[in-house]
Amino acid sequence: MQRRNLLTLLGAAMLCGGGLPARASSGGEYERVVALTFDDGPDPVLTPWLLDFLQYEQVPATFYVIGSSAYRHPDIVRRAYDFGHEIGNHSWSHPFLTRISLARAADEITRTDEFLRRIIGAVPNTVRPPYGAMDRRVEDLANPRPMILWDVDTYDWRTRHTPAVERAAVRSNGGIVLMHDIHPTTIGAVPTVIRSFKERGYRFATVSSYLTGYYRQLPRTIDPAWAMVRG
């Protein structure tokens, strides 16, 4: 899995969710690809569980972390990065970037960049604006990186209902899927979501690799105890 700076600058149509099809080109053949993304973490309890499960299933994901949460739980962010997942910038305190001053919005992004650089050694490849709120001025704050939205919103933050999250995700045709690793009901939906996409022949990718068509598996460092729990 790519670690840093693999994004070549893409066309404007690719800067936000919806700019690419769910089927991405790889080696001259087309395949179904899905990028699972998790916002607003890390959560001290739920995110480690999710990391264990993703590792067992060999599924890469992208975590759009809030800087202030990463500050409280840097080891979880570092663990996700070391496992091969992508870390994205989701601002420092999760404000509507379009409703605050441009100077404060810039600080929300740069402060998070600087902290993440200290703990994982790299600035995130992509930025996701809280609530998906962006305009041209806010988008320019992330340059030369893209601001990434999503193709599928599971509305897990609203329903807080595991079956509803499962239905929203599995009825989609892949692409960039939005979830949040701060809700137990979302974490409970992940096994079914992953199983459904696997059964339909989808490959999993981080956001950056989804955009660039570059895919690799996670390193196989499965905890035997976790495998026994999973049966």
CATH number for position 167: 3.20.20.370
In a domain, 22, yes or no: no
Beta strands 23-26 and 29-39, pairing class: antiparallel
Q: Tell me if 201 is assigned to some domain.
A: yes
Is 181 catalytic? The answer is no
Which pair of tokens denotes residue 41? 């973490």
For residue 61, what are the CA distances in angstroms to 48, 52, 112?
Answer: 13, 12, 19
| Range(s) of the domain holding residue 195 | 31-218
Does residue 23 form part of some domain? no
Total of domains in the chain: 1
Q: What is the CA radius of gyration of the chain?
A: 17
Q: Which of 226, 197, 174 is nearest to 51 (CA)?
A: 226
Residue 199: inside a domain:
yes
Kindly give the confidence (pLDDT) of every residue in the chain, 231 residues in length, as a single tens digit, with 9 standing for 90 and above.
333 333 333 333 234 444 444 444 444 456 799 999 999 999 999 999 999 999 999 999 999 999 999 999 999 999 999 999 999 999 999 999 999 999 999 999 999 999 999 999 999 999 999 999 999 999 999 999 999 999 999 999 999 999 999 999 999 999 999 999 999 999 999 999 999 999 999 999 999 999 988 766 665 443 333 332 322
Classify residue 2: in a domain, yes or no. Answer: no
Query: Residue 35: inside a domain, yes or no?
Result: yes
Question: Is the residue at 140 inside a domain?
Answer: yes
User: Pick the catalytic residue: 85, 90, 180, 183?
Assistant: 180
Catalytic residue among 39, 40, 113, 181: 39
Answer whether residue 223 is part of any domain.
no
Active-site residue flag, 180: yes
